[in-house]
Structure 1
Amino acid sequence: MVGVGPWEGPWPRDDRYDPDLLRDGDRRNVADRYRYWSLEAIVADLDRTRHPFHVAIENWQHDLNIGTVVRTANAFNAAGVHIIGRRRWNRRGAMVTDRYLHVRHHEAVEDFTAWAAEAGLPVLGVDLFPESVPVETFAFPRACVLVFGQEGPGLSEEVRAASQAVLSIAQYGSTRSINAGVAAGIAMHAWVRQHAAQTGH
C-alpha cells in the first residue's frame, strides 16, 4: 500500500492539514513533507518557491507524452505548464500532478506567443534543427518558457520562428530523436543545474 495510514496521536493544530486525510490516511503521490496537507495548502506552499521557468507543449495530435512532461514539470516546480493546440490531453501519465501546477491552454501558437511576450518571457524551443544550439552549453535566462513539440513532428514552424533560440540535446546512438517526454526532462534539468538551489529531495 502506497502512502501512510491514519494519523496516530493527537491531531496537529494547523490549518494546512486535511481532516479527512488525518482520519483516513494519505495515499497520494506527494513528498513526505506534504503528507496529510490539503491540496490547497500544498499548492500555496509550492507557489512560494516556484522556479521562474515555464513549460509549453504543442498538442495537435493528442500527444501521449504530455502527461510525462507535466509530471516532470511538477517535480522541478515549474512556474506553469502551457498546452498549445488541443485542450484535451492524456492525464494518465501525469499521475494527478497537474492538480499542483498552474496549467493554461492556448488555442493557437499566436495566442501562446502573445502571452509570452506580455509576460516578458523569451521562448526557447527544444528540437533538432540546423540552427539548434547545444542545451549542454546554453546559458539559460532565469525566466523563460521551454517549448516542446509533439512526438514525431516535433516543433511546428510557427514555434520555431517565434523562438529566441532552439536547443538540441546531444545524442550518440543511431536513433534520430529522443522521446519528447525524455527530452523535456533533460531540458528542464539543464535549467535547474544553472539556476536552482541544489537542495531538492
Structure 2
Amino acid sequence: MSTDDETGRPDEVGVGPWPGGPAAWPVTADGSPDERYDPELLAHGDRRNVVDRYRYWTLDAVVADLDTRRHPFHVAIENWQHDLNIGSVVRTANAFLAGEVHIVGNRRWNRRGAMVTDRYQHVRHHPTVADLVAWADEEGLPVLGVDNLPGSVPLEGYPLPRGCVLVFGQESVGLSDEVRAAALDVLHIAQFGSTRSINAGAAAAIAMHAWIAQHAAV
C-alpha cells in the first residue's frame, strides 16, 4: 500500500462518491437507472479491491459479468486438515477466472486468505474424492493431479486440456492415493533449490498460470 508523502498515512483504496451526485449517476440508453450500479456505493464510494471496470457495480452484477467470461479449467484442493492454503487458492482462481474451485473433504475452510474473493468465485464442495471424480466424469473433464511424486511428468511443456480439473493435495501429505489413482496424469513443477516442495497455494498459482499461458495469454 502506498502512503501520502506529506502525512505518511496510507492512501485511501478505491474511489469516492460518484462525481456530480445522484443527478449524474449512470443510466441506460432509455434514461432509466443502470441496475448494475449500487446506489450505496455511488453515494458513498467504492473501497473494494476490484478492477476499475467493476467500480460501483453490485456484487451480483460483477458475478454475472464474470460468468460470461469464465475459463473452462477448474481447480480442486483436498481439505482433510483445514489447509490454510485454500484461501490463497481461491484468490488466485479468481484472478485467473477459473470456472470453479472445488473443496474436497471438510466443508469448512479458512477464508481469510481469500480476501473476500470467494464472493466472486464459485466454490463447490465434494465430501469425497469419489464425488469430485464423478462430477468431473459427468462434465467430461479430465482430472490432473499436481504433485512432485515419483512417476509424475513435468508441468512445463505439458499440453493442458482446455477443460480440466487441476487437483492439489493437503499441504503436509500431498495428493491422496484416491486422486493419484483417478488422475489422467500427475504433473510436477520444476524446482532447483534445496527444499523438497512448495506450498499448495504457490503450486496452484503456477499451474493455473501455465493453463493461462497456453489458452488465454494476451
Q: Which residue number in structure 2 is paired with residue 16 of structure 1?
A: 36
Q: Which residue number in structure 1 is paired with residue 16 of structure 2?
A: 5
Unaligned runs of 5+ in 1: none
Q: SS in structure 2 opposite 1:79?
A: coil
* Ranges of 4+ aligned residues in structure 1 off by more than 6 Å: none
How many residues in Structure 1 have an aligned counterpart in Structure 2? 198
Which among 83, 99, 109 is matched to residue 103 of structure 2?
83
Which among 14, 19, 41 is matched to residue 61 of structure 2?
41
Q: Which residue number in structure 2 is paired with residue 99 of structure 1?
A: 119
Report how far residue 196 of structure 1 moved.
Answer: 0.5
Unaligned runs of 5+ in 2: 1-11, 28-33
Amino-acid identity (%): 75
TM-score, structure 2 length as denominator?
Answer: 0.90
1:54-110 alpha-carbon deviations (Å, 9 max, x no partner): 000100000000000000000000000100000000000000001111110000111
CA distance in 2, matches of 1:21, 1:12: 12
1:6-35 alpha-carbon deviations (Å, 9 max, x no partner): 111211112111111101111111111100
Q: Over the residues paired in the alignment, what is the CA RMSD in angstroms? A: 0.7
CA distance in 1, matches of 2:173, 2:217: 35
Are positions 1:149 and 2:169 aligned together?
A: yes
Question: Which has more radius of gyration?
Answer: 2
CA distance in 2, matches of 1:29, 1:153: 33
Q: Tell me which amino acid in the other structure corresponds to 1:89.
A: W
CA distance in 1, matches of 2:105, 2:44: 40
